[in-house]
Structure 1
Amino acid sequence: MSKLRVGLLFGGRSGEHEVSISSARAIALALSAEENANKYEILPFYIQKDGRWLAGDVPQQVLTSGKVPQLPENETPSANSLLSTTKNNLTRWQFPSQVGEVDVWFPILHGPNGEDGTIQGLLSLMQVPFVGSGVLGSALGMDKIAMKMAFAQAGLAQVKYVTLTRAQIWSNPCIFPKLCDEIEATLGYPCFVKPANLGSSVGIAKVRSRQELETALDNAASYDRRIIVEAGVIAREVECAVLGNDQPQASVVGEISFESDFYDYETKYTEGLADLLIPAQLPDSVTRQIQDMALQAFAAVDAAGLARVDFFYVEATGEILINEINTFPGFTATSMYPQMWAKSGITFAELVDRLIQLALERHSTPLG
C-alpha cells in the first residue's frame, strides 16, 4: 500500500513565521516516527516572507536547521520554486509542480494569511483534503469581533468589550475623545486594546489611563482596520484543547501562569517566562464546565479538526468567561495544545495522525 503524501505547508507572511517553522519541525518529526513512517511521506512546502512558495531542497533545509534561509532576491527560479512573472508592475506567481502530488495538506501556518480562511480557501479550490477548519471556521476564529458575536449567539459568557474601526480613530479628531469617554465609561481601567485580526498578542496593549488608551488605539489601528477593546478581569487563565469534526472531544484543562503584565508575544515564546500546569488544579465541576464551553465554542464558529479555547476563571465569583478560540494553535512539542492531549492520553505522533485522518474524513463528507 503506497504512502499518503502529506503537503507540510509552513512559513508564511505573518509575524508568526518563525513559530510556524518550529511547529512544522515538530510535525515533520512526528510524521517520521515509527508509527507514522510507513503511512506518510512528507512533501515540505515553505512560504517565504515575501509570499513565494518553495518546494524541494530549501524547505527540507529549513526543517533541518529551523532557520529562515537567506535567499538572494534576484535568485533565478528553479523548477522547485514558485516562479514569478511581472506584467504591468504586478507579480504573478506559479505554484511548484510538486503541489499536484499532494494527497492531504497540513497547513501549519499561524496568524494572517495562514489561519484566517485565506489559505483554506485556496486549498478548498484545489479540492484536496487539508487539516483544520475550513474558510468559515478559520475566518471566525481569527477575527476577534466576529468570534465574539458567534460566542454571544451561542450564549457563552464573555468580558465586556467595545468595537471600533480605524476610520473612527483616525478620520475625525473631534470624535476620538468621545470614543475614549465611551470606553472609560463602559469598561473602565485596566482594559486591553487589540487589533481584531492578529494572532499571538501582536499589537495588543494593556492600558490604565487615557494617555495609554489613546496611544494603544492609534497603534492598534496601524495593524488592523478593526479594533476591539476588552475589560480587564482578575482571573486565572485556563485553556482546553478540542479534537474532532462533528463529534469533537475536549482534553484536560491546562493553566498558564506568568510574571509579566499580561500574556504577550514575548512571554508566549520566550522559554521560562510562563509556566504551564497540566492538568489545572480546578474543582471537577469547573473543569467539566470549561470542557463543555470549549465544545460549544468549537461548534459556534464551525471549527474542524483542532482548536485551543482560552478562558478566564474568576475564582472569587466562580465565573467562567470565554476569551477566544485559536483554530491553529502553536504545535511544537512544548506547545499547550499537544501537551494537553498528551496528558489526556494521546501522544504527539498519534495526534498528528488523527488530524490527518480527520482531514480525510471531512473531505469525504458531502459539503464537508
Structure 2
Amino acid sequence: MNNKLTVAVIFGGQSSEHSVSCVSGVTVMKALDPEKYDMILIGITEDGRWIRTDSIEDVENGEWKNGSVQALISPDAGDHGIIFVENGKIEKKKVDVIFPVLHGMYGEDGTIQGLCELAKIPYVGCGVLASSVSMDKWYTKIVVDDLDICQAKYVPISHMDMHDPEACAARVESELGYPVFVKPSKAGSSVGVNKASNREELKEALQIALQHDIHILVEEAIVGREIECAVLGGYEPVASDVGEVLSAEDFYTFDAKYNNQESRTDLHPAFPEGKMEEVREDAVKIFKALDGFGCARVDFFMEKDTHRIVFNEINTMPGFTSISMYPMLWQEKGLENSALVDRMIETAFERYVR
C-alpha cells in the first residue's frame, strides 16, 4: 500500500522572477523525501503554457519547456485535481497537495491560490487574501498603517496620475523630498526599483516602474541596515531569528541579489539589546494582520543612529535559492530543507482544520 503523498510542484511562471522561481523549484524538489512523496512537476512558461515534466534535470537545464504534456488545475477534474493533455488524450491525476514555488505576479499574488481553492486541493503558502494584498506594496502599507509599526513614508501614484509626470514629481518633492525609492507596487526581487536623488531621476524611475505595474509606490529613503525575518506556521506562526543583507550595491537590486558575488548575508548580526525580539514580534504581527498562513519572509530596515525598526515589505513565497535568506534562517534553527518543506506541507492541511 502506498502511503506517500502526491505533491505537485509548480514553478516558473509569467512574472519577471521566472528564472528565480525555476531555481527555487529545484531546491524544493530536491528537498522532498522520495520515501514520503511522489512528485508531479509542472512548469509554467513565460508565455503562460503549463507543461508537465518528469525530470529535475530538465528543470535545471531548461529542457522542460520543450515538453509536450499540457497541464491544468481544474475543478472539472473532480477528486483528481489536475488534468494532463497529450495529443488529444486526457488523463486525470489525483494530487494531495500543491506546492506553488512561484514568485511575483500570476503566482504569488493570489491567482494560483484561487485556482487551488476552486479545485479544492490543499496548497502550501498563504491564501488568496494574504497573497494578493502582500503582493501589492501599496495595500500592504495601508494594512500596516494600523499596526503601530514604523514604516517608510510613502506617496502612491497610479498610471492615471502619470498623465502629468511633473505634477507627480512635485507631489513627491513636497511630501518626501530626496532621495526616494521608486517601486512598482506588485513587482518582486527589486525588479523595476530605482533610487532617485533629483527630479530628472525621479521621472525616469517613475516611467521604469510604470512598465511593470499600473500602481507605483514612492518611499522616503531609509538609511540603515537591511534585515529579514522568516515566519513559518499556520494558526500559530513562529518567527526565526533575524538575518542581515550586506548588499554589494547602493541597495539590494536584482543584480545585487543574484549576480553580484560581493553581496552577502549575515545570519548572526549584532543588534542593540531588544531589537531582534522587536523584529520577530513585528514580523508575526504583520503576518497575522495580512491573514498570512504557511510561510513568509518579512523585511525591515534598522535605521542608522536611531536603531529604529522600519517595516519594508513581506514576501509570501520567499526564495529557495542557494543564497535565499528564508531557508538559511530556518537551517540556523535546526530545520534543514527537507524538514522545512515537510513543515510547509503540513501547514497546507492545517488550513482546513477548524
Answer yes or no: same fold by TM over 0.5.
yes
| Partner of residue 78, structure 2 | none
Superposed CA offset, 1:141-176 (max 9, x none)? 100000011111222210100001011112xx4xx3
- In the alignment, which residue of structure 1 is the partner of 2:218? 229
1:305 counterpart letter in structure 2: G
Question: C-alpha distance in 1, partners of 2:63/2:318?
Answer: 21
Letter of the aligned partner of 1:165 in structure 2? S
Letter in 1 for 2:274: S
Counterpart among 259, 276, 280 of residue 287 in structure 1: 276
TM-aligned CA distance change 1:214 to 1:151, over 3 Å = same
| C-alpha contact (below 8 Å) 1:25/1:66 kept by paired residues | no
- Give SS of 2:162's match: helix
User: Which residue of 125, 131, 140 maps to 1:132?
Assistant: 125
* Residues 98/304 of structure 1: CA separation in 2 closer, same or farther (3 Å cut): farther
Q: Displacement of 1:17 after TM fit?
A: 1.1
CA deviation vs aligned residue, 1:62-91 (integer Å, no higher than 9, x gap): 33x3436563xxxxx85x2249xxxxxxxx
Report the equivalent of 1:104: 97
What is the percentage of aligned positions where both structures have the same residue?
Answer: 41
Match of 1:254 in 2: 243
* Aligned match of 1:47: 44
2:262 is the alignment partner of 1:307: no
TM-score, normalised to structure 2's length? 0.91
1:318 shift after superposition: 2.2
1:267 Cα offset (Å): 0.6
The 2-side partners of 1:264 and 1:194 are apart by 11
Q: Distance in 2 between matches of 1:99 and 1:44?
A: 15
In structure 2, do the counterparts of structure 1 residues 318 and 98 end up closer, same or farther at CA, with 3 Å as the change threshold? farther
2:62 maps to 67
The corresponding residue for 2:353 is 365
Instruction: Report the secondary structure of 1:105's partner residue.
Output: strand
- Superposed counterparts of 1:33-182, under 5 Å: 36-57=33-54, 60-63=56-59, 65-67=60-62, 69=64, 71=66, 78=68, 80-82=69-71, 96=85, 100-170=93-163, 173=164, 176-182=165-171
Question: In the alignment, what sits opposite 1:88?
Answer: none
Q: Distance in 2 between matches of 1:99 and 1:146?
A: 38
Q: State whether residues 7 and 105 of structure 1, in contact with CA within 8 Å, keep that contact through their aligned partners in structure 2.
A: yes
Task: Sort the Cα spacing of 1:209 and 1:279 in 2 relative to 1 into closer, same or farther, 3 A.
Answer: same
Query: Residue 29 of structure 1 aligns with which residue?
Result: 30
Q: After the TM superposition, which parts of structure 1 deviate over 3 Å for at least 4 consecutive aligned residues?
A: 68-71, 94-100
Shift of residue 116, structure 1, vs aligned partner? 0.4
Q: Is 2:184–2:215's contact at 8 Å kept on the other side of the alignment?
A: yes
C-alpha offsets along residues 75-126 of structure 1, whole Å, 9 cap, x if unaligned?
A: xx85x2249xxxxxxxxxx754566321100000111001000111011111
Partner of 1:328: 317
SS of equivalent to 1:213: helix
Report the CA distance shift for 1:201/1:100 in structure 2 as closer, same or farther (over 3 A): same
Native 8 Å contact 2:43 2:64 kept in 1: no
Q: Is the Cα–Cα contact under 8 Å of residues 27 and 332 in structure 1 kept in the other structure?
A: no
Contact 1:18 1:68 in 2 (8 A): no
Alignment gaps of 5+ in structure 2: 73-82
Unaligned runs of 5+ residues in structure 1 are 72-76, 84-93
Select the residue among 327, 334, 338 that pairs with 1:338. Answer: 327
Q: Distance in 2 between matches of 1:360 and 1:23?
A: 22
| Counterpart secondary structure, 2:218 | strand
C-alpha distance in 2, partners of 1:70/1:114? 18
